[in-house]
């Protein structure tokens, strides 16, 4: 079997095997440990050897501390224990040790590649959430897997590797929670956010904001009560704060300070940075932080007295930059064996005092810091001697901005929830830190998802030319109508506008069609059956603008310009329910209806199709809140006796299908002919 059909059958398995081999492959040679890597390795070694969380140099009885968050060190220790690797005696042995150290490095590398694979899967799901098709989802996953920055993290002892998987997964679950306010989604989001905070304490501010996500679903759907929404918010926040609060209580008990970890020089460095930017100007700072050799050369030529990149650890303060001054002050406060958490608190107070004294300098640093944060992605090695960090950063920023703008314009709660974590992280670091690009590497999978949706519009194959084309649009009875010329613009879903005779007269974006004066347009409804004659009903997501939370037929949608009804039904069925179908036919070609709810009007010529399901449903929570299989006669009984229990179109369609000759013929062939029951 060749071609596309062969790929559909065997390509998924081949890709899974390739990813498995990639995960299990041993990392390459590496250089000396960085300070951060040494700290994490030391903490993991002490956890395994002594059961103590400490970053102290190797000793028989290390003193507990709160220098860093415990999440990543606990992850490293768990990986070594699970794979049976002996922890090295010292962190440096990971580089120059023997077979045992190489095994520990290989185990950790495989585990972190597994984390990257999980982040890639979540990025693919995020691309679908953002309105992308299968091609965009595949591109998002592959771009995440091959991201130079994320690949580099997977070969290091870096907490960002764990944070990337946690942040992407948490954002995906929050989107599901906004689509359908279920307790399991709130609990999963809370647990993921709690693990994220224990890995990177800077993400703690996301918890109260994430607790507002259920309100997005409630506002869109209007169904869940305030008490239920408040309960979901409390569940999410409680589970998210449970483990971090326990760790902060441990630090308060042992060291007298409620803290998750030391913030070290970060707050004071941010305050001092504002002073440097005010002295040199925001343009000098933006140029200093632009990646690429040309930008560096221009910065040195145009601003020869700049301190921003002057790393002199001796001499007067005017010869050093903001970070060096902050480190010097930290050393002064710490002294010999001083209280690290007390020094940490003193630095924060000094930072706040400096900001209050010069608020203008603090605000002036925001634009160049926002620019600096765009370049979390690294340039790939194959691009040398060129540095692609600048164009890659601009591409990711554009994708995120476009996706966020569309979500805001459409008031799309799930997409807003999905993008809220990286957007808020970006703003927070500009306000509270020096905005190092690596701070944003955990958000790269979501950024690549947004970029993939921008680059590969829905409904276009990767090699297609996205140009306007003439196409014939089927009329209500399945015959071809008049030609329509449509220019596809990104992942915007277009619907076909009709005149009273059912002929196509133009197109319009779906987001602009449904309102109080909805024009007549083309749609379709699908009733999906299994071989036993049961039909699949879906409960529409609470995030839907029309008839949220209402039970309806298997699937509805709008065919695009030039798209056949059966192809549109299969596409929408795969998007909403993760199902394939066979024997898909138009069985009620002339159905037309108009319905109104809360000022929203449906006005459609809506041919009805029937099909037989193949596979198990995997509903998209942003589209479907619940599914259920029911005998067809039971559905007919509800449509006749209690039509208000179904959507207005579904109840009317079911009643009409009961006497439709085409549907009777289809049933005999597709259901009764395959061993199913005959119609009553």
Return the closest-CA partner of residue 609 out of 523, 526, 530. Answer: 526
Active site (annotated) includes residue 280: no
- Give the separation between CA 49 and CA 43, rounded to whole angstroms: 10
pLDDT for position 679: 65
Return the closest-CA partner of residue 29 out of 87, 96, 115. Answer: 96
pLDDT for position 8: 45
Return the closest-CA partner of residue 355 out of 266, 435, 268. Answer: 268
Hunting for tokens 């060096």 — which residue is that? 324
pLDDT for position 372: 92
Q: Considering 107, 400, 555, 556, which one is annotated as catalytic? A: 556
- Give the separation between CA 614 and CA 338, rounded to whole angstroms: 68
Active site (annotated) includes residue 556: yes
Q: What is the pLDDT of residues 350-385, one digit of tens each?
A: 999 999 999 999 999 999 999 999 999 998 888 878
CB-based contacts of 679, cutoff 8 Å, min separation 6:
632, 664, 667, 668, 672
Give the length of the chain. 680
Chain center to CA of 160: 16
Question: Which helix (H) or strand (E) segment is 601 a member of?
Answer: strand 600-605
pLDDT for position 18: 54
Angle at the Cα of 48 from the Cα atoms of 47 and 52, rounded to 5 degrees: 25
Q: Report yes or no: 454 and 490 within 8 Å, Cβ to Cβ.
A: yes
Return the closest-CA partner of residue 527 out of 515, 537, 542. Answer: 537
Low-confidence ranges of the chain (pLDDT < 70): 1-31, 59-60, 179-180, 216-225, 315, 337, 410, 458-492, 674-676, 679-680
Alpha helices in 557-676 (DSSP H): 565-577, 632-641, 648-657, 661-670
CB-based contacts of 299, cutoff 8 Å, min separation 6:
284, 287, 288, 290, 306, 309
Sign of dihedral through CA atoms 522, 528, 534, 537? Answer: negative
- pTM for this structure? 0.69
| Per-residue tokens: 635 | 């559905």
pLDDT for position 14: 53
pLDDT for position 452: 92
Angle at the Cα of 523 from the Cα atoms of 518 and 526, rounded to 5 degrees: 140
Q: Report yes or no: 498 and 504 within 8 Å, Cβ to Cβ.
A: yes
Q: Considering 160, 272, 604, 623, which one is annotated as catalytic? A: 604
pLDDT for position 386: 83
pLDDT for position 218: 43
- SS3 category, 26: coil
CB-based contacts of 603, cutoff 8 Å, min separation 6:
518, 519, 520, 521, 594
pLDDT for position 355: 93
């Amino acid at each position: 079997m060749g071609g596309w059909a062969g790929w559909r059958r065997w390509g998924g398995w081949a890709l899974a095997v390739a990813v498995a081999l990639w995960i299990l492959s041993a990392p390459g040679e590496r250089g000396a440990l960085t300070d951060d890597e040494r700290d994490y390795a030391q903490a993991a070694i002490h956890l395994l050897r002594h059961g103590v969380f400490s970053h102290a140099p190797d000793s028989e009885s290390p003193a507990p501390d709160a220098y860093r968050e415990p999440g990543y060190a606990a992850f490293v220790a768990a990986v070594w224990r699970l794979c049976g690797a002996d922890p090295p005696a010292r962190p440096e042995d990971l580089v120059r040790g023997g077979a045992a150290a190489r095994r520990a490095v290989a185990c950790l590398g495989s585990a972190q590649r597994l984390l990257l694979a999980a982040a890639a899967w979540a990025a693919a799901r995020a691309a679908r959430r953002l309105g992308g098709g299968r091609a965009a989802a595949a591109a998002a996953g592959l771009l995440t897997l091959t991201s130079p920055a994320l690949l580099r993290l997977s070969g290091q002892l870096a907490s960002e590797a764990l944070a990337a998987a946690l942040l992407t997964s948490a954002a995906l679950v929050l989107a599901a929670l906004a689509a359908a306010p279920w307790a399991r989604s709130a609990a999963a989001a809370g647990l993921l956010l709690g693990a994220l905070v224990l890995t990177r304490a800077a993400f703690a501010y996301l918890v109260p904001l994430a607790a507002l996500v259920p309100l997005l679903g409630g506002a869109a759907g209007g169904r869940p009560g305030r008490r239920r929404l408040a309960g979901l918010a409390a569940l999410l926040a409680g589970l998210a704060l449970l483990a971090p609060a326990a760790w902060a209580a441990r630090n308060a008990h042992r060291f007298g300070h409620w803290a998750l970890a030391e913030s070290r020089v970060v707050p004071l460095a941010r305050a001092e940075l504002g002073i440097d930017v005010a002295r040199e100007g925001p343009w000098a700072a933006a140029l200093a932080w632009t990646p690429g050799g040309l930008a560096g050369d221009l910065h040195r030529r145009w601003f020869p007295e700049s301190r921003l990149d002057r790393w002199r650890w001796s001499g007067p303060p005017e010869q050093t930059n903001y970070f060096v001054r902050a480190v010097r002050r930290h050393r002064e406060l710490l002294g010999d064996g001083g209280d690290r958490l007390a020094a940490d608190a003193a630095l924060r107070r000094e930072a706040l005092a400096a900001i209050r004294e010069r608020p203008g300098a603090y605000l002036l640093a925001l634009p160049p810091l926002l620019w600096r944060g765009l370049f979390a992605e690294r340039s790939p090695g194959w691009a040398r001697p060129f540095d692609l960090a600048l164009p890659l950063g601009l591409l990711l920023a554009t994708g995120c901005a476009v996706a966020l703008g569309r979500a805001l314009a459409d008031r799309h709660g799930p997409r807003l929830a999905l993008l809220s974590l990286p957007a808020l992280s970006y703003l927070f670091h500009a306000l509270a830190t020096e905005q190092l690009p690596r701070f944003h590497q955990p958000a790269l999978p979501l950024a690549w998802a947004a970029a993939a949706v921008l680059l590969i519009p829905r409904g276009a194959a990767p090699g297609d030319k996205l140009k306007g084309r003439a196409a014939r649009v089927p009329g209500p009875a399945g015959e071809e109508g008049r030609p329509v010329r449509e220019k596809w613009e990104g992942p915007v879903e277009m619907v076909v506008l009709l005149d009273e005779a059912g002929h196509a007269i133009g197109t319009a974006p779906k987001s602009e069609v449904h309102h109080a004066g909805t024009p007549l347009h083309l749609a379709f409804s699908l009733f999906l059956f299994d071989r036993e004659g049961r039909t699949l009903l879906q409960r529409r997501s609470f995030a839907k603008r029309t008839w949220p939370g209402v039970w309806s037929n298997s699937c509805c949608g709008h065919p695009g310009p030039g798209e056949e009804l059966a192809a549109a039904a299969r596409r929408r069925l795969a998007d909403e329910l993760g199902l394939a179908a066979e024997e898909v036919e138009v069985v009620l070609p002339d159905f037309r209806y108009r319905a109104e709810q809360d000022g929203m009007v449906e006005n459609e010529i809506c041919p009805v199709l029937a099909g037989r399901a193949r596979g198990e449903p995997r509903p998209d929570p942003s589209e479907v809140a619940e599914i259920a299989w029911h005998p067809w006669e039971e559905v007919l009984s509800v449509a006749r006796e209690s039509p208000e229990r179904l959507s207005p179109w579904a109840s009317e369609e079911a009643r009409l299908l009961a006497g439709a000759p085409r549907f009777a013929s289809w049933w005999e062939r597709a259901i009764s002919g395959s061993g199913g029951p005959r119609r009553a």
